[in-house]
Structure 1
Amino acid sequence: MFIRPIYLDCHATTPVDERVLAAMIPYFTEKFGNPASISHVYGWETEAAIKQTREILAAAINATPAEIIFTSGATEANNLAIKGVAEAYFKKGQHIITVATEHGAVIDPCNYLKTLGFEITILPVQKDGLIDLTELKKAFRPETILVSVMAANNEIGVLQPLAEIGEMCHEHNIIFHTDAAQAIGKVPLDVQAMKLT
């Protein structure tokens, strides 16, 4: 008999919680309508469920429901955010700051933007895995448009000081992005207080 090894990367993927599965079963079997098709009951049901889900997620992070955008996962979300800021703020500047310990879902779009002429500053971390806030501030330039710092590291678990980073970025009119895939539901996240804008 084959015994499966213990799986220790449940942040990357994990069995679906039984409560989540129970809540989703009707949408896999009966209420499977297209939420964009709002001229019939199938669309109404799924549109209402998605609206409710947006409201729940927004409340969890102190955002508005309109700010919640569903993607297939963190990699797509990071690409959308980073490349979206790069395109929208191209005329303001082409400098982005990130961290050496970021997930590939952040480093890869930054490297792509480098091929388009963007300058990417990759800050090192200290022995404890945290970035040095003094070094971050020194890296700011007039053409810096984005700072991307992971909330909770997927390998070493360090929690970066998001509120302090957010305040620094806010003071310099720089957009602050965080990959919070490893943090949400485990540590408090408040996009307003942390100035994740």
Structure 2
Amino acid sequence: MVKELIELGKSILIAIVAAFLIITFVFETVSVDGLSMYPTLHNKDRLIVEKVSYYFRKPTPGEIVVIKYPADPREKFIKRVIAVEGDKVKVEDNKVYVNNKPLDENYIFEQRMQDFNEVTVPENTIFVMGDNRNNSLDSRDPRVGFVNYNMVVGRAALRIYPFDRAGRLNAALQNR
């Protein structure tokens, strides 16, 4: 009986360690809280965040990423990568420009947005924005600013809830 309890304890311990390693290094689930990514993502959508690919490559424009909020790293934000290191970004006349080329953004909620002076994305950082541009705390705000790679949790890969909208989340194609 004691031997069986020890074996059961070992099995439980192995399961806990495996779950910890998977959640830490492979994937996790997150819930969308708010409307900053509307209409692409809705409040209370459940997503699977894939973490492995960013061990081998950097985030690319158009991808939807989960980041740690710089002002409170315990909080996570879901945003779209607009520009990467070395890119110049600005918002002018309701259009986002990257390297002086307007982005084709058929995924955004409103076409009207406040102008944002041109900035150059520093090394090892990304510039992110929500798809609901007028209701998004993103890189245009100094509380978020440029997002360092070490603050990127992973790539939002799948929507798992609600079930009628479940499926892959594809990176939007942009004119670059």
**Bigger RCO (CA 8 Å, 6+ sep):** 2
Higher share of residues assigned strand: 2
Higher share of residues assigned helix: 1
Structures share fold, TM-score greater than 0.5: no
TM-score w.r.t. structure 2 length? Answer: 0.27
